[in-house]
Each structure stands twice: as structure tokens, then as C-alpha cells.
């Protein structure tokens, strides 16, 4: 599977978990999968990684529970912002 297909899968998953009102676990697994894919594709020091990290917002402790869905640092706005970064990579 090429990078574009992997990104499209991440985008589809993001839309799905936003639609179901994601749990903290859904969000954190998606966030980590997207970060791993981007890191492998462009490297940790690439500007795209910085954009992604800005979009996804602050990282919570692994045992964090009950992230809000909406609001400035809610899961939905973070996912939407990260989707925009990922869309910029699709050719």
C-alpha cells in the first residue's frame, strides 16, 4: 500500500471516529498511527511533522481519560486540523 492510500485510510478513519463521538482511546490510537506514518514518511524533523504536532495539540498522559470532544483542545477540532495536514500530502 502506498503513502497516499495509507493517508486516505487515516482520513476515512478520522471521519468515522468523529462521527461516532470518539472515545479517548479511539483518538489516541488514531493520533499515534498518524504520527508514526508521518514520521516514517518524512522524518521527525520535517516541517510536516511540526504542522501535524501543532494540529493535533498537546499530548495527554497515557492514562488520560475523558478528553472532551469539542472545545479548543477537544478531539474533534484536533482531528479536523490533523486531517488538513494529511490532505496536504495526498498527491
pLDDT score recorded for residue 65: 58
The grid cell for 38 is: 508521518
Block means of pLDDT (10 residues each) for the chain, 91 residues, are 93 94 87 94 93 86 64 85 92 68
State the chain's maximal CA–CA distance in angstroms: 37
pLDDT score recorded for residue 73: 74
| pLDDT tens profile 16-41 | 999 988 788 899 899 999 999 999 99
**What is the model's pTM?**
0.85
| Whole-number CA gyration radius for the chain | 12
Amino acid at each position: 500500500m502506498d503513502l497516499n492510500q495509507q493517508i486516505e485510510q487515516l482520513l476515512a478513519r478520522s471521519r468515522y471516529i468523529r462521527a461516532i463521538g470518539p472515545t479517548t482511546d479511539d483518538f489516541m490510537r488514531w493520533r499515534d498511527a498518524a504520527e508514526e506514518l508521518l514520521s516514517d514518511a518524512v522524518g521527525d524533523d520535517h516541517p510536516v511533522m511540526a504542522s501535524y504536532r501543532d494540529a493535533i495539540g498537546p499530548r495527554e498522559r497515557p492514562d488520560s481519560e475523558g478528553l472532551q470532544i469539542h472545545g479548543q483542545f477537544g478531539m474533534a477540532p484536533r482531528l479536523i486540523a490533523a486531517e488538513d495536514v494529511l490532505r496536504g500530502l495526498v498527491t
